[in-house]
């Protein structure tokens, strides 16, 4: 028997859809019945994670916990969250439910460390950066990291919000590639795509070092756990 996956989503909706599509594509299946049962709570009304971490907005913790509890009641055996920054509150989610929660941050940091890269660049939203989610995770695994300077980070966030608004045009893609290339030029041996909007406009062939996409990493790990 496979496990039922519960996805806390809507953070944003397009990133949640991307996660689900990649989950379907990566699942070994010869027909419908070979796929995993998936429950999705896509709630775009969850307060802005970046604003909350910066102290300028409402905490999303109660909303994330409510989603986790609802998915557990609906029959989920395993929970994931399709948003990197929301993992600032992963301990709240874990404490609220009796089922396992698979961390996108931990799984992606493990994959980055396993890549053999000595210095890993982090492309992540302001909230994840402010909470140092990946910075701490990489240090715990003995890896050096680097990230965008403050000006480039502001430009990067403008790109993320443009993607959230539905813009996946070539200018947006080119600007995202430019930020990735700048980090590689600064000495990165690998690059973490630490925001679930990044894969919507940046692909592995766009960069010359391993691109460790948090969405893809979590998809692979949750499939392995659900089918174990």
SS3 for 2?
Answer: coil
- Over 144-204, what HEC string results? EEEECCHHHHHHHHHHHHHHHCCCCCHHHHHHHHHHHHHHHHCCCCEEEEECCCHHHCCCH
Which helix (DSSP H) or strand (DSSP E) does residue 119 occupy? strand 119-124
The verdict on whether 43 is a catalytic residue reads no
| Residue from 38, 195, 200, 209 carrying the catalytic annotation | 195
Largest separation between any pair of C-alpha atoms in the chain: 50
The verdict on whether 69 is a catalytic residue reads no
| Residue from 5, 52, 76, 83 carrying the catalytic annotation | 83
**Preceding amide of 12 cis, omega within 30:** yes
Name the residues annotated as catalytic: 83, 195
């Amino acid at each position: 028997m496979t496990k039922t996956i519960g996805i806390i989503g809507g953070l944003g909706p397009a990133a949640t859809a991307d996660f689900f599509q990649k989950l379907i594509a990566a699942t070994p299946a010869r027909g419908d019945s070979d796929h995993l049962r998936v429950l999705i709570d896509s709630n775009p009304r969850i307060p802005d994670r970046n604003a909350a971490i910066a102290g300028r907005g409402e905490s999303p913790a109660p909303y994330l916990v409510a989603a986790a509890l609802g998915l557990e009641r609906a029959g989920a055996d395993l929970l994931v969250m399709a948003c990197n920054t929301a993992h600032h509150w992963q301990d709240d989610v874990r404490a609220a439910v009796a089922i396992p929660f698979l961390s996108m941050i931990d799984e992606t940091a493990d994959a980055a460390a396993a890549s053999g890269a000595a210095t890993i660049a982090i492309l992540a939203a302001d909230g994840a950066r402010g909470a140092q989610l990946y910075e701490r995770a990489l240090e715990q695994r003995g890896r050096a990291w680097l990230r965008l300077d403050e000006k480039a980070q502001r430009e990067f966030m403008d790109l993320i919000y443009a993607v959230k608004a539905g813009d996946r045009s070539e200018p947006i893609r080119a600007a995202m590639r430019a930020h990735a290339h700048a980090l590689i030029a600064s000495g990165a041996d690998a690059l973490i795509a630490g925001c679930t909007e990044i894969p919507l406009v940046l692909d592995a062939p766009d960069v010359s070092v391993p691109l460790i996409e948090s969405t893809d990493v979590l998809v692979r790990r949750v499939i392995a756990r659900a089918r174990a």
